[in-house]
Copies of this chain bind each other. A is one copy, B any other.
Amino acid sequence: MPAGAAPTRETHTPQTLLRIAVEVFNERGYDGTSMEHLSRAAGITKSSIYHHVRGKEELLRRAVDHALEGLFAVLEEPDALRGRAVDRLEYVVRRTVEVLVERLPYVTLLLRVRGNTDTEVRALERRREFDQRVTELLRRAVADGDLRSDVDPRLATRLVFGMVNSVAEWYRPRMGDEGAADDPAGAEAIARAVTLTAFAGLRAGGR
């Protein structure tokens, strides 16, 4: 063994370790996961994990931050900043679905966070902040006369995200073990279906 190498069976970068931790968190729940579980799943000793991170909460923080950065970045994209509020809103919803699919395990973990640790409390606050930014766009689109005014904007935001977030419950990428049966459409087709349903509605003749 070369000098300085840790006595591990596998080598991990911070990224590969994080990916495994997120898998275990999603499978066992964050509260139900011990450092022992993480050590076994990663194939390295607990002290090797402590070489990378201070503990499991740091892994949770990095994971939810990865999800949140992806979501908040959408709000800064040019098409989210320019044009009519209704089009910006539709763009944000579509891109949110795409980020959810691209970062599926990270966003799934974010959506399951319940607020028992500081990291979880902060993640919930950031989610609420994201929702509020979207509600604000929705309010402007209603004021512009582009969205119907007979559905409360906060309720509309909740319903649209209910639809968006539900994708995390059933979407499995075509490469996964659960295969094609769960993948009737790619990420883009799902994003398109979400925006069509939410903005134009399922009835024939909608735009």
Contact = CB atoms under 8 A, between A and B. Distances in A.
Given A155-B185, A185-B152, A145 B194 contact: no
A170 B152 CA distance: 15
Given A162-B163, A165-B166, A166-B165, A202 B152 contact: no
B158 A166 contact: yes
B196 A199 contact: no
A158 B194 CA distance: 10
Interface string A134-157: 000010000001111111101110
**Copies of this chain present:** 2
Contacts of A156: 193, 197, 202
A167 B158 CA distance: 8
Contact of A197 (B149, B169, B189, B201): B201
A198 interface: yes
A184 interface: yes
Which 5 A/B pairs are nearest by Cβ-Cβ distance? A162-B166, A201-B201, A200-B201, A162-B163, A163-B163
